[in-house]
Amino acid sequence: MHPEARPLLPKVSLFITQSPAEINIVNAQMFHSGFPLQDLVLGASLYFPPMFKAFLLGLVFWLLIHRVLRDWIYSGEVWHPTLMDLSLFVISICAALMLMVNL
């Protein structure tokens, strides 16, 4: 290196006084209420992806619709009962997602 050239970044020596685990514990205590069950319920409601919520709500819708239309689906009027069930299930999930988005 040329004697008059200066490095672009100054020479810095870093001394880490805390381990990464200690740093994470300090940050995590800000969001901790002190009650493990409440933290679990709050965390599950915040981080549970909306598509899974729509899937579960759509499953409930499908169970209700399937119960009402089961005799008609399996009577022979419908060409393929399994495809009809699958179609109703997909429509139920889409309806649940739309319901969640609009509320």
- Tell me whether residue 40 is in a domain: yes
pLDDT at residue 48, rounded to an integer:
67
pLDDT at residue 26, rounded to an integer:
47
Residues of the chain below pLDDT 70? 1-48
- Tell me whether residue 28 is in a domain: no
Domain count for the chain, please give it.
1
- Tell me whether residue 13 is in a domain: no
User: At which residue do the structure tokens 């495809």 appear?
Assistant: 83
- Tell me whether residue 71 is in a domain: yes
Question: What pLDDT digit, counting tens, does each position of 39-58 carry?
Answer: 556 555 556 677 888 899 99
- Tell me whether residue 11 is in a domain: no
For residue 86, the enclosing domain spans 36-102
User: At which residue do the structure tokens 């679990």 appear?
Assistant: 40
- Tell me whether residue 94 is in a domain: yes
- Tell me whether residue 66 is in a domain: yes
Q: What angle do CA 32, 33, 34 make, to 5 degrees?
A: 95
